[in-house]
Structure formats: structure tokens, C-alpha cells
Amino acid sequence: MIIHLLASKRELIQSIHKAFGYWQNIEDTYLLPKQLNAFVGEYYVQQQKGIANFWILFVERVNPIVTNNLDMILRAVELDKEIIAQKYIEHPLLYNKRKIDFQFIVLLRGINPLQGSVYNVCIPRITVNPFSLDNRTLFDSATHCTKEVLDYKEYIKLFEGEHKDAVSWSNIFADIVNIVREALRGVEVQYKDIQFGRSRVIMGVNVMLDEKLVPRLLGFDAEPDLVGLSQMAPDFYNDAFEYLFAETNKNSYLL
């Protein structure tokens, strides 16, 4: 059950809304059609302020759609029963002009109370094409969906060199651990009856940095790239097993 509650974007957003109301660690998100009036109101507010009005739509069985066209969004709502509209991160951190995000691994022994950790190696992922918000690229997954994997150690070395006067990666990692902790506690508050028993959970959590290096939660992933991670962190499976079943913490940060 916990995997569904976390991996389902709708369930996660509902938990966050109920627990926190507005939560600064995730972009403004509306569950349509239920919150359609509030969404349209926000759309016009941003339009009047001259703010770029790009939104990403999550529709079941369809690749995410990026658009700034309100008519398109309203038509999508008419055609589909449930849509999630989330403010698009219009100024993301880039790598060689490409959008980049990071998949971290969360190890869970329990949710009530919260017992878990975030592994200290993540998977940097970039898009195939340079990032652009030109209307001709909005439906291009190669421009907006990260696919290619970078080597973690090489990227962090590059990141530390490029941003050494602004922030360290260790500080960003600590912020991400706090974000994951808050998100999971939001779920904990809403589902106090969840018990793990002998079950254990390994999930991915996807995070993006904006151009100011502020982490933004994208969501949880029920099928993280463990093979890719283990190639960069050969001890991962041993570390994960020892934490999940022997309660020995190695190379991860406790939640």
C-alpha cells in the first residue's frame, strides 16, 4: 500500500495538501477537475503578473505534456477524467544546456513511526536535447524528459567546482533529505494505520534543482534504477540489506 501512496502522484499530492496546505518544496499543483476553478484563477493571476505560465500535465497512460495554453488544458480535462496540473520548473539547473534531475534511493523500514534513510549516492539524469520552452519543443520528450545517466562522482566533482562559491553538494543533499522526511511525514499523518510488519521498501525519489540551486521534489518512483545505481555504488545492495534487515546504517542519511 505504501508504494502506491508514494508512487501515485495524485495520492502524494493529496497527502501533502492535507498535511501542509501550501508546501514550498513542490511546485504549485492542482488536481483536476476537482480544483479546476482554483487552477484557472491561478493561471490568470500569473498571466496578469506577466509570469511565464507553463504547466506540466500528468495524464494516465500518456507522456507528460508541457503547455502554456489554457484552452488545451481545459480540453484535456474534458477528455480525461483526472489530470494533474503542476507548475513547470521554467528555470532549472542545466548541464551542458540540458535539463538535469537526480534520482535518490529511499530505504524504508517503517512509516509509522518513520524509519528510513536516503542513500548517499544518486543518479544524475539529463535530457537528450538542450532545454527550451519554444512552443515547437513542448511535446518533445527528448527536450523535457531526462533519460541519459551521468556518472555520479564525475558530476559532483564538476558541480562542486562550478558552484563552490554558492553552495556545497553536501548542503544540498541535507536539504533533500529534509524534503523527503517532510513528504513521508505528510503521508504518515494521513495514514496512521499503515504497518510494515516484516516488509521493507526501496523506492526512488526524483528531485530537480532550479537555477538558484533550490531542490524541488518531483515525486517518488516505485521502480528506481537500482542497476544503474549499483554500477556507480558497488556496495549498494549490501548496504541496503544491512540497513533494511540488520538495522546497520552504512552510506545513507537517516530520515
| Judgement on whether residues 249 and 197 belong to the same structural domain of the protein | yes
Confidence of residue 98 (pLDDT cuts 50, 70, 90): very high
Residue 221, classified by CB atoms within 10 Å of its CB into exposed (0-12), middle (13-18) or buried (19+), is middle
Do 77 and 144 lie in a common domain?
Answer: no
Average confidence (pLDDT) over 199-223: 96
Residues whose CB falls within 8 Å of the CB of residue 227, separated by 6 or more in sequence, listed in order: none
Task: State residue 192's pLDDT score.
Answer: 74
- Residue 215 vs residues 25, 40, 138: alpha-carbon distances, Å: 7, 26, 23
In a domain, 21, yes or no: no
What average pLDDT does the chain have? 93
- Is 78 part of any domain? yes
Task: Using pLDDT thresholds of 50, 70 and 90, give the confidence band for residue 137.
Answer: very high
User: What values do phi and psi take at 30, rounded to 5?
Assistant: -125, 135
Residue 28 has what pLDDT? 95
**Residue 193: burial class (beta carbons within 10 Å; 0-12, 13-18, 19+):** exposed
Task: Indicate whether 19 belongs to any domain.
Answer: no
Length of the chain: 255
Tally the C-alpha atoms within 13 A of residue 10's C-alpha that lie toward its C-beta. Answer: 13
pLDDT at 231: 96
Query: Cell numbers 539547473 label which residue?
Result: 93
115 and 78 together in one domain: no
Q: Are residues 177 and 135 in the same domain?
A: yes
pLDDT at 62 over 90: no
The pLDDT of residue 4 is 81
pLDDT at position 158 over 90: yes
30-58 pLDDT tens trace: 999 999 999 999 999 999 999 889 999 99
Q: Is 148 helix (H, G, I), strand (E, B) or coil?
A: strand
Q: The dihedral of CA 19, 21, 25, 29: what is its sign?
A: positive
Three cell numbers, residue 143: 527536450
Q: Look at residues 58, 88, 118 and tell me which one is the last residue of a structural domain.
A: 88
CATH number at residue 57: 3.30.1490.20
What is the count of structural domains for the chain?
A: 2
Tell me the residue range of the domain where 235 lies. Answer: 2-14+91-254
Residues 230, 202 share a domain: yes
Cell numbers linked to 237: 545492495
Q: Are 228 and 121 members of one domain?
A: yes
**Cα–Cα nearest to 84, from 54, 60, 51, 52:** 60
pLDDT at 109: 92
pLDDT of residue 228: 95
pLDDT of amino acid 60: 79
**Any domain includes 83:** yes
Q: What is the pTM of this model?
A: 0.94
